Amino acid sequence: MDSLIPRTRAEIAPGAVHVPDWLTPQEQRDLVQACREWARAGMRSPKLPSGGVMSVRTVCLGWHWTPYRYSKTTDDGSPVLPFPTWLADLGRRAVADAYDQLNTDYTPDTALINFYDESAKMGMHQDKDEQSNAPVVSLSLGDDALFRFGNTENRNKPHKDITLSSGDLFVFGGPTRLAYHGVLRTTPATTPEIGMKKGRLNLTLRTSGLT
Ligand SMILES: O=C(O)CCC(=O)C(=O)O
Ligand SMILES: [Fe+2]
């Protein structure tokens, strides 16, 4: 995204770090291609216990997430797709870079791949179905998203709104691991040339803490 505001690494809140343009264009293309393969397993809009349906379409790796629990099988009973070693390696590098560490023992074992069409968004929520307080790694591909990062108490202010563009990394852990966050909207026609025509993909890597 072209912006007058410099897009540099920023600690949005303690433990929450935004690293713009973390993925190279080639890494973004490779990830889009990987998402295409995973999507062949079927992307579904998760159903909420309230009866509502989420507007994103999702496929999971490692552990299948459906509001609000993880399981080893998908909603139709088929086994969840494996979580590849290379993705864990990418997650480890992400955490090390975001937190300026030489290395880390971060070992994510589940990923949610969310596709946003131009009308999709995600309400304010906590990622709290994991039995581990290891950080969440978020990678964005495609259209820009207006991402809201709030506080750990409730959905209200204080919160910060940032634009997550294609290639951006966002990591949240430590004191803000359970902060409320959501996606207010995406901006159509902002995707760079990375092998997807429209929409936004977001990958969140997590450590389930489950066995
Ligand atoms: O799409 C995003 O940037 C956030 C996704 C998210 O919060 C989630 O999948 O839990
Ligand atoms: Fe989330």
The ipTM of this complex is 0.99
The finding on whether 181 has its CB within 6 A of some atom of ligand 1 is: yes
The finding on whether 145 has its CB within 6 A of some atom of ligand 1 is: yes
* pLDDT tens, N- to C-terminus, the chain (211 residues): 556 777 899 999 999 999 999 999 999 999 999 999 999 999 999 999 999 999 999 999 999 999 999 999 999 999 999 999 999 999 999 999 999 999 899 999 999 999 999 999 999 999 999 999 999 999 999 999 999 999 999 999 999 999 999 999 999 999 999 999 999 999 999 999 999 999 999 999 999 999 9
At 47 the pLDDT is 96
The finding on whether 58 has its CB within 6 A of some atom of ligand 1 is: no
Asked if residue 56 lies in contact with residue 120, where contact means CB atoms within 8 angstroms, the answer is: yes
Q: What's the pTM value of the predicted model, to 2 decimals?
A: 0.97
Asked if residue 135 lies in contact with residue 175, where contact means CB atoms within 8 angstroms, the answer is: no
Query: CATH: 3.30.70.270, 2.60.120.590, 3.40.50.2300, 2.160.10.10. Which one for 10-206?
Result: 2.60.120.590
The finding on whether 139 has its CB within 6 A of some atom of ligand 1 is: no
At 2 the pLDDT is 57
Whole-number Å distance between alpha carbons of 126 and 128: 6
Q: How far is the CA of 184 from the centre of ligand 2 (A)?
A: 13
Whole-number Å distance between alpha carbons of 66 and 49: 10
The finding on whether 129 has its CB within 6 A of some atom of ligand 1 is: no
Q: How far is the CA of 122 from the centre of ligand 1 (A)?
A: 7
Nearest CA among 11, 42, 12, 35 for reference residue 166:
35
Q: How far is the CA of 59 from the centre of ligand 1 (A)?
A: 13
Which residue intervals of 77-169 are DSSP H helices? Answer: 85-98
At 173 the pLDDT is 98
Q: How far is the CA of 177 from the centre of ligand 2 (A)?
A: 10
The token pair that represents 3 in the structure block: 């912006």
The residue behind tokens 């997650």 is 91
Asked if residue 73 lies in contact with residue 81, where contact means CB atoms within 8 angstroms, the answer is: no
In sequence order, the β-bridge partners of residue 58 are 44, 114
Nearest ligand atom owner, CA of 199: 1
Asked if residue 203 lies in contact with residue 113, where contact means CB atoms within 8 angstroms, the answer is: yes
Which burial class, exposed, middle or buried, applies to 189 when counting CB atoms under 10 A from its CB (0-12, 13-18, 19+)?
A: exposed
Which burial class, exposed, middle or buried, applies to 23 when counting CB atoms under 10 A from its CB (0-12, 13-18, 19+)?
A: buried
Q: Residue 25: which residues within 8 A CB-CB, separation 6 or more?
A: 167, 192, 193, 194
Nearest ligand atom owner, CA of 147: 1
The finding on whether 117 has its CB within 6 A of some atom of ligand 1 is: no
Whole-number Å distance between alpha carbons of 116 and 141: 10
The finding on whether 163 has its CB within 6 A of some atom of ligand 1 is: no
Nearest ligand atom owner, CA of 205: 1
Q: Which atom of ligand 1 is nearest to the CA of 140?
A: 3
The finding on whether 147 has its CB within 6 A of some atom of ligand 1 is: yes
